Amino acid sequence: MKPDQVKAVISGGASGLGFATAEKLVAGGGRVALLDVQDDAGRQAATRLGPSASYHRCDVTREAEVDGAVQAAAAKMGGLSVSVSCAGVATPGKLLGKDGPLPVAAFERVLSINLLGTFLLDRAAAAVMQHNAPGEDGERGLLIHTASVAAFEGQIGQVAYATSKAAVAGMVLPLARELARFGIRVVGIAPGIFGTPMMSGLPQEAQDSLGKQVPFPPRLGRPEEYADLVAAIVGNRMLNGETIRIDGAIRMAPK
């Protein structure tokens, strides 16, 4: 898919990895629709990106909102060819914490946003993409999941987060196999430690310490580096059915 053919919906698009991805796709001549629950930030982000972008309020855990936002985005852009799931939370919690067992509601919330949210966006986007006119090699669309290195090396206190991200990665191959008949690719990205709004809540000293744990380059990942990988996946049809780590060779310790 050529950059100027991109018509993308991006969940969590108002900030962090999602907004960096939107910037990259718009710079390449594409159009984007930002899906988020941060109304002020979402509208401001769309304004910054210009006429090729729009904002659509969407709680990714609610089927009707996701379906409605995707339909509205496709109508606004005149089609839909790419979906990028960036909405997520990383709420920590031990199975047996100092205040007792992890509340079931806390576990469910993380899975609902990270996993169910990805599934619902895939579902709505693929339903539109299947009707696209086939491009080169019969390609009709692309779904990108945001997993995490925690899917493979979950740390103590990440039982909910690691579970959700492992499942997000686990969806990639079966969906790629299923949707191949429509020419829809499915690819996952597993970021390491990135400088996102979730990370910005930590003191700078803590962020610097985390960055030094990365073998090379010894720093936090930058959202634009995630966006660069999204653009590479868009342009290479042989990338399909795999989750790609982008982590500076870090392998997470138990804690």
Pairing of strands 96-97, 100-101: antiparallel
Among residues 107, 161, 194, 226, which one is catalytic?
161
Q: Does residue 177 fall inside a structural domain?
A: yes
pLDDT at 206 over 80: no
Q: Does residue 251 fall inside a structural domain?
A: no
Q: Does residue 252 fall inside a structural domain?
A: no
| Percentage above 90 pLDDT, the chain | 93
pLDDT tens-place string over residues 8-49: 999 999 999 999 999 999 999 999 999 999 999 999 999 999
How far, CA to CA in Å, does 164 sit from each of 62, 102, 146, 201, 235? 17, 15, 11, 22, 28
pLDDT tens-place string over residues 143-168: 999 999 999 999 999 999 999 999 99
Question: For residues 246 and 249, what is the distance between their CA atoms, to the nearest angstrom?
Answer: 8
pLDDT tens-place string over residues 115-135: 999 999 999 999 999 999 999
Mean pLDDT of the residues in the chain: 96
Q: Which domain holds residue 215?
A: 3-246
Q: Are the C-beta atoms of 182 and 140 separated by less than 8 Å?
A: yes
Q: Does residue 176 fall inside a structural domain?
A: yes
CATH no. for residue 124?
3.40.50.720
Could you give the number of structural domains in the chain? 1
- Cα of 51 vs its chain's centroid, Å: 23
Q: Does residue 253 fall inside a structural domain?
A: no
Q: Does residue 146 fall inside a structural domain?
A: yes
Q: Does residue 189 fall inside a structural domain?
A: yes
Catalytic residue list contains 161: yes
